Amino acid sequence: MTESLPVSNELLNAFVDNELEGDERDWILYLEANDPQVAREICELRKLKSRVRAARVEISREQVNTRLYKNPHSLVWYAVASVMIVVSLLLVAMPQKVAMQYQYASKSSHSDYASLLQSVSQQPQQNLVLHIRTDQPEAMQHVARLAEALLQTAGDKKHQLVIEVIASGPGLRLLQSGSKGFAGRLRAIQTAYPNVKFIACRKTLKKLNQKNPGKLQIMKEAMLVASGPDHARLRVEQGWTYILL
Amino acid sequence: MRWWNRRRFEQRIDMLIPRLYSVSLGWGCSKPTCDDLVQETVTTALSKIDQLRNPDAFDVWVFRILVNAHRQLLRRERWLTELDNEFLVDDNGPSRQLETSRTIDRVRHAINRLSDDHRKVLVLVDMEELSYRQVADILEIKLGTVMSRLGRARKRLRSILDEQDTPTSDKAVLRRIK
């Protein structure tokens, strides 16, 4: 043991562990060479160190079940779920988003109107939904003007353009028959361009007729669907371009 | 943290896993306990990777997390060390295997009789061959404390192994039977 040795136990251990430098190391080296007791102690410590080292169990990565992430499958599911939620939100929000963009365009920006015309003129085949939900005369006039302009541009370019004008809510008044409304103009458009359809929302019509029976008559050229917004959503899902006014 | 840096750290942690496991075994943990400790260490390291100040000291940082996880485990469960013989088996042939496992068994039993503080220092220095400075950083103690603990640990280990190496038959007392 080290009680009677000329050097401390800690220093001898540090020497064996190669932790000493300079004078301290030289001093132990000298003692190792000249003091049999120190040499024996160093030898014992080295033997002990190698025995402990030998007791180390070598482990390969395959033997350990540890994973970087506790449940990698859940991460995949989180990712898939996130993507699905985003896609769903986009599908639901898309009509409104496009609508908001176009509402702005229809009010003030002629360049967006022009870009829509340009888009129609560049694409040889396009399907378009114009959805009107307001009974403001400017908006109704705008729908008629826009549909006509687009159809004319497509006709000039000999492109295939199909337009469905969907009227729901207060916008149903667009398709009101009689001399006061837009029926005459719409009828003329449809006569000139058979690739345009006017679609009325049966749900809205039913509500209006419940309040004032027989007051609102829809032009006979218009087609009735169960729900205007649902029909619009169906068309969006089918890849149609959607514009809300 | 940028994703490529994170990916690099993930790879480094993955490479460290066998060492973490080996150290846990060296500290006398059973296989299920090692699984829990290493998993907890890896999960904690990945969740706190942004707190790593010095990337060069990455290994030390991860080992420190292991030490803390082990300390919490001891505190929580008043845990008794137990050996797992499954890992004592070697594939070097029957006789060598037997001899090796006997040696390992003896030394590991002796290490398990040390105090937790002494065992930790001894395993990190002798089994993992870490420097005193690294061990001091991992255990968050002074360099001098590492030296004194290591000195006492080896002294105690020697005496335990000496006891074990002494054949019990030598100690038997002959009695005259009338």
| Position A172 in a domain | yes
CA A43 to chain B, closest CA, distance in angstroms equals: 13
Q: Give CA A160 to chain center in angstroms.
A: 31
Higher-pLDDT residue of A98 and A132 is: A132
| Position A61 in a domain | no
Beta strands in chain A (DSSP E): 125-132, 160-167, 196-201, 223-225, 241-244
The mean predicted confidence, pLDDT, of chain A is: 80
| One domain, residues A123 and A227 | yes
Distances (CA, A) of A141 to A39, A138, A185, A224: 107, 5, 10, 21
The residue among B25, B47, B44 whose CA lies nearest residue B35 is B25
| Position A25 in a domain | yes
Query: Which chain A residues are closer than 8 Å to B157 by Cβ?
Result: 48, 52
Q: How many domains does chain A have?
A: 2
Grade residue A97 by pLDDT with cuts at 50, 70 and 90. Answer: very low
| Position A63 in a domain | no
pLDDT tens profile A173-202: 888 887 667 888 888 888 888 889 999 998
* B91 pLDDT above the threshold of 50: no
Rounded Cα–Cα distance for residues B159 and A32 (Å): 23
Give alpha helix (H) positions in B48-142.
Answer: 58-77, 94-112, 116-122, 132-139
**What pLDDT was estimated at residue A4?**
77
Phi, psi of A75 (to 5 degrees): -65, -45
Query: Which chain A residues are closer than 8 Å to B122 by Cβ?
Result: 52
Contact B39 A70 (CB under 8 A): yes
Contact B22 A17 (CB under 8 A): no
User: Count of alpha carbons within 13 Å of B158, Cβ hemisphere only?
Assistant: 17
| Position B16 in a domain | yes
| Position B74 in a domain | yes
Grade residue B86 by pLDDT with cuts at 50, 70 and 90. Answer: very low
Range of the domain at A142: 95-244
Grade residue B10 by pLDDT with cuts at 50, 70 and 90. Answer: confident
| Position B145 in a domain | no
| Position B87 in a domain | no
Range of the domain at B63: 10-81
Query: Which chain A residues are closer than 8 Å to B158 by Cβ?
Result: 44, 48
Q: How many domains does chain B have?
A: 1
Closest partner residue to A60 among B13, B18, B46, by Cβ? B18
**Which residues contact residue A13 at a Cβ distance below 8 angstroms, ignoring those fewer than 6 apart?**
A45, B147, B150, B151, B154
pLDDT tens profile A120-173: 667 778 888 898 988 888 888 888 888 888 888 888 888 888 999 999 988 888
Query: Which chain B residues are closer than 8 Å to A52 by Cβ?
Result: 107, 111, 122-123, 126-127, 157
Q: Which DSSP string do the residues of B84-106 spell out, in sequence order?
A: -GGGG--SS-HHHHHHHHHHHHH
| Position B56 in a domain | yes
**What pLDDT was estimated at residue B69?**
92
% chain A with pLDDT above 70: 80
Q: Which residue has the tokens 């729908």?
A: A143
Any B CB within 8 A of A53 CB: yes
| Position A73 in a domain | no
Ranking A181-190, A227-236, B83-92 by mean pLDDT, the lowest is B83-92
B64: domain CATH number?
Answer: 1.10.1740.10
**Which residues contact residue B113 at a Cβ distance below 8 angstroms, ignoring those fewer than 6 apart?**
B156, B160
Contact B26 A55 (CB under 8 A): yes
